[in-house]
Amino acid sequence: MIDDYLIERCHTLRKKDFVLVTDFMMHLKMGKKIHLCEFEADSLAEGFNDLFDRMVDVARIKHGNRQTIDTLISEEALLLAKYLRNERKDWNPRIPSLRVEIEGKKRKKLTNT
């Protein structure tokens, strides 16, 4: 899920979105690092927050048929922990593939234009 987001995001980056920084790497040696510019780094962090706040159509453990991805990840961790402690007989991941959702949206955009 996060991999798909980062790959999609990297396709939009250009050379000017990066900044070369000279810094001390080791004792008395200078090194160079490449960082995202401040605007792109803030935009990336905001994009991650939006990703985790996205709603998915997966039933919650206690009630409801929709939830945020953040809640879904927490519930999956709880169900996996119960399975590992032998409190549950089986564990089937409920996390949907966002790649399918992203590809579906791209197809809709292509057919609408």
40 plus 64 within the same structural domain: no
Q: Is the dihedral of CA 57, 60, 63, 68 positive or negative?
A: negative
The per-residue pLDDT for range 65-110, each reduced to its tens digit, is 888 888 888 888 888 899 999 998 888 777 655 444 444 554 444 4
Taking the model in full, what pTM does it have?
0.55
Domain count, the chain: 2
90 plus 109 within the same structural domain: yes
The predicted pLDDT at position 84 comes to 92
Distance CA 87, CA 22 (A): 53
What are the structure tokens assigned to 68, written together?
């945020």
Measured CA to CA in angstroms, residue 31 lies from 19, 28, 59 at distances of 14, 10, 50
Are 98 and 1 spatial neighbours (Cβ–Cβ below 8 Å)? yes
75 plus 87 within the same structural domain: yes
Residue range of the domain that includes 66: 54-113
Mean predicted confidence (pLDDT) in 51-63: 80
98 plus 43 within the same structural domain: no
The predicted pLDDT at position 99 comes to 44
37 three-state secondary structure: coil
The per-residue pLDDT for range 18-49, each reduced to its tens digit, is 999 888 777 777 888 889 999 999 999 998 88
46 plus 1 within the same structural domain: yes
Calculate Rg over the CA atoms of the chain: 20
Distance CA 27, CA 45 (A): 32
109 plus 77 within the same structural domain: yes
